[in-house]
Structure 1
Amino acid sequence: MNFFQTILMILLLSGCIIPSVLSEVISIGPVTLAAGTSGTSDITIDTLPNGLSGYRMTVASDNQAVVTVMGATFPSWAALSDATAGEGGSYLLSAIDLNSGVEAGAGGITLATLNLQAVGAGSAQITMSTVQLDDDAGNAVTTVLKPGTISVPGQTPVPTQTPVITHTPAPTTAPFGELTVNLLPGWNLVNIPVQLTPGSNTAEIFKNVQSAGHSILTYDSTAGWITIGKDDVLKPMTGYWIFSTTPVGIPLSGSSLLAGAKTLNAGWNLAGITGTSSKSAESALSGLASWTYVIPFDSSNQQYRDAGIRGNSNAQIMLDPCQAFWIYMNSPETMSPGY
């Protein structure tokens, strides 16, 4: 045995080999959600050799047109905890273990459970940043971060090819007379921005649309997806999914620009504005106190636009009166015509 082999053997036998620095893995579980539904995903850490005193981290979706983070709940060990909404749809999470609920050597510990809302078809990652995690002695724990992939399959009524709608501008004076909504091939998300004339205010106005067997659909945050029959009255400020195999113009006849109020429930709603001209989301929705996100569609790219975020000057968008949009409400409110 040569000199170097002898030294190595001595080190091995004496336990003096210096171990490499270990990193604990924090991961967010993958989830598959249907568009328009909510779900959860756990943030877990694989092992805590020296226990846990607390942590702070920021979580966010990298594609809010697919999924958004709406908050978080915390496990019982977190005697003090908080989830604070930040910029760009992010959330700052923090928790403190006051009662030694997480002991040294614990594994598979849930740090928080994220509340998620699926918006449109696609894939997004929920990422973590600015993570600070301390053990029972207050020492920083080295971590490796693994984001979670959230998949939203492209199924009806939110197809892979995102619905689009354009419209022919109408006069800006009331009564407006006639407004034409032009459907394009594929799915179209239509808003009724005016009060339709009785006799011309049901889904029968779409009878000449070649729908390839697809039903007209709308979404209610309480009842879920609703199929619309030909005799059902079309309600203003309500989004309707309509499939067409060919371009076709649908005239909307009415006697007044005024419409009844629309109830918006807490969570995601399909809605639209009234009138005949486009407005910024901040202006059009100024009468609503608790909206957070608005997501309309980009007709030229056949996909959802980036989410409009209340109070964020970098996430301002325009709302077209003939295009419906998703709107997230923190609490129920009533949307009146003229917003």
Structure 2
Amino acid sequence: MNDNPNLGETDHFNHTIDEDSTRTYAVKFNDTGSYTIKVIDWGANGVFDGTYDATGVPFAAGGDDSEDTVDITVSPKAVTFDVPATAVIGEKFTIKGTASTGTYVTVAVDDYVYLELDRLVLDVNKQFSKEIDTAVHPAFKIAGLVRLKAFIDRPPGTGPIEPTEKDDGSVVILLVNGSLVAELSSTYVAQGDDFKISGTARGSKSVDIVIVPPKGSGGTMIDGTAKWELCPGQVVGIYLASASVAEIDHNFSKKIYVGDDVDTGNYLVVVLSPGSDGLYGKAGWATLPEALANYNLVDKTQEEILAILQNITAESDDLWVQLYMKVELPFVKLDPIASVKVGEPLVVTGTTNREEGFAIVVTVKGPVELTPQVVTITKGTFNAIFDTTGAPAGTYTVKADDGDGHTDTTTVKILPAITPTSMRLYEHWNFISVPKKLVEGNNNFSQVFGMVNTSGHSIFYYDTVIGWRAVNASDEVKPLRGYWIYSAEDTVVYLTYDTYPLRTPPTRQLYKGWNAIGFSDTVPAAANSALTSIEKSWAYLIGFDARSQVYESAIINNDETGGVHDEDSLMYPMKGYWVYVTEDCELAGVSI
């Protein structure tokens, strides 16, 4: 690159090259634009045989001359930065970028060159990179905008940039203060269990945790250890801990163990960050205990301790989050359990304040013992499902046991499997019907429902003409009629059908308006089929979910959408229904 015979400014020169016919030249351009470099070989005779331009410079080859050209586009030298738009004070970030040419890049911060950013070496890809720790670098410790300027091959030297120096690229970065987010794994915890404090602390390398008992600094340490001398002469029950902050995702986490016999109640939990400078308060205390040593902490309430922490962090970049954790006596509690029929799954659920993942043993004992289950706690709840296939009907005792002496029990009925001759009644109100004519001697209300505990409620029947009326004990229970009966508990009623064959199917006179009807078959059927006899008259059909004590969605005649209102939705045995008819009509049964 130093073979040029002329180091001055020129647009041409003549030169004899070595015998190896190879030579390298360096060309310096003082302006941007497109340029053509032409080389003319004078040939074997060593004489230029071509033509000259108007200024007497060889222009084109001739005779045994030969020539070649190359086009060059000259662009301004430039640096492109690749930096984040925002950087958090107290964290690290990287200043990097790419230069179009050169060997070094110098980066100035707000027109000042610091030693670590002076003459950064460009790699083979013309790229440079430098990690900056804003916690210690003086140029990145104040929130606001900072401008980075890059200079290619600037002479070495730190200090201010001269006004005459022109940068080759610049970028702006917004510096922001750190942030602190903290949360508890749960708002409550049982004695002897543990919980977790976690969160994100931007701009900090660690956080401190302060936990104050419900009774203040004179209460029990949350972890069950003895009170300690936090500061000289100050023996308190204040729990102190710290947690490091991850450099990449800025997360932190700390597991706190709760003692077996600690005070119950709400513990004050304060998570503190010393900010980007790593120091507490305006005074710049190196640690939180050092800061607390300036205060009297003995016999202080939670509110007074909180006020002290607020005073320590005032007028500084320190951050804090206030939380509360309720410590309780351990408990397990079973939810009410609905009766099930033999063969149906028995679902047992409950709540507890034992820690996440804690094991609970659930047992079901009665005429036989169902296979015990061990279940784990998920968000304060547990769930066990028992197979009742082949289990004898009867009353069973369900028990939940945490293994530490905390239990809860309740009872559940496993009812006989429902057959075409049995009717299940749920606790509270039931809208029922019988599918067929009942046999003489077991067909009136006293004989069919006499064993049901109705808690003093009458059995009701609705007549469109006269309205509601209570049935008499001696009244016949008839098919195609809907009855309302209250049961104090889940139970099963058994039916005996009249099998005499010389009998016509039942019919029922309906009147314009709402009528309480029954379903006259022992297997489900589509409403549109079951109500064929009143196809032109019925409009709406509404059932009642006795298990949930709510009405079901209305079935609408001629609705063929396939949704909940579709006319082909099923009607079920033993259930009563409200039907609205637009005219007087006669409903016919679909079985005998």
TM-score by length of 2: 0.27
TM-score (norm 1): 0.47
